[in-house]
Amino acid sequence: MRGRPTLSYTLQRRMGNQAVLRFLYDNKPETSKKKSESEKPLNRESCDNKCGISGGSFGNTECAFDLKSGLLTGKVTVEVFDKNPCTRPCVEVHERTHEKKIAPVCSASKKCLDAAGGDLKKQDQCLDKHDVDMKALTFSTECAAYTAEEECLSKRAKKEECTNTDGKKRYEEQMKMVKCYKGCFCK
């Protein structure tokens, strides 16, 4: 047993890592920006506000936590919620892109936690570094994921499941959202 969990651990266990990162960081302005980053939105929330998620989240990828210890396992959890046969394969491509990008951070965080042993201060340092590393990846991983999803959708445009009434509507909504997010994250 790790002892009394920090607020960060408790939130991560209850809300998921991505939700916690948005909660902890998105409402705080970034003070140190490179000139090339000055056109980027300050946080993910500004992209969400601009592009919106009309149907909710279609997938989620994050570093996995051990529910007993509350610590990272070093593995990645990928979930796809989209059930539409036209767009689901591309949401899977999107989430797998995230998986490839964050896997090294998940693994490094686990190694840090293993090295920390039962030292809670060192564990907290590992988790703080994990949070910083994940936040640093936000724009690059989202840019890569939306780029891959857009390519996938473009290839699927003429598939039967994307040309019927339901598929075509869903395809158009998804492509509009993907292009908006790509424009926001790939600046």
- Looking at the domain assignment, is residue 134 inside a domain? yes
Tell whether 135 is covered by a domain.
yes
In a domain, 1, yes or no: no
Residue 20: inside a domain, yes or no? Answer: yes
Instruction: Name the strand (E) or helix (H) holding 74.
Output: strand 72-80
Count of domains observed in the chain: 1
Residue 2 lies in a domain: no
Residue 32 in any domain: the answer is no
Residue 160 inside a domain? The answer is yes
Provide the domain limits for residue 51: 7-25+42-185
* pTM to 2 decimal places: 0.77
Q: What is the DSSP string of 78-98?
A: EEE----TTTHHHHHHHHHHH
User: Which residues does residue 80 pair with via DSSP β-bridges, in sequence order?
Assistant: 59
pLDDT tens digits in sequence order for the chain, 187 residues long: 334 444 444 445 444 544 544 554 444 434 444 434 445 556 778 888 888 765 678 999 999 999 988 899 999 999 999 999 999 999 999 999 999 999 999 999 999 999 999 999 999 999 999 999 999 999 999 999 999 999 999 999 999 999 999 999 999 999 999 999 999 999 8
Structure tokens at 108: 């490094």
Q: What share of the chain is helix, strand, coil (3-state, %, to 5)?
A: 65, 10, 25
SS3 65: strand
Going by C-beta distance under 8 Å and a sequence separation of 6 or more, which residues neighbour residue 78? 59, 60, 61, 95, 96, 98, 99
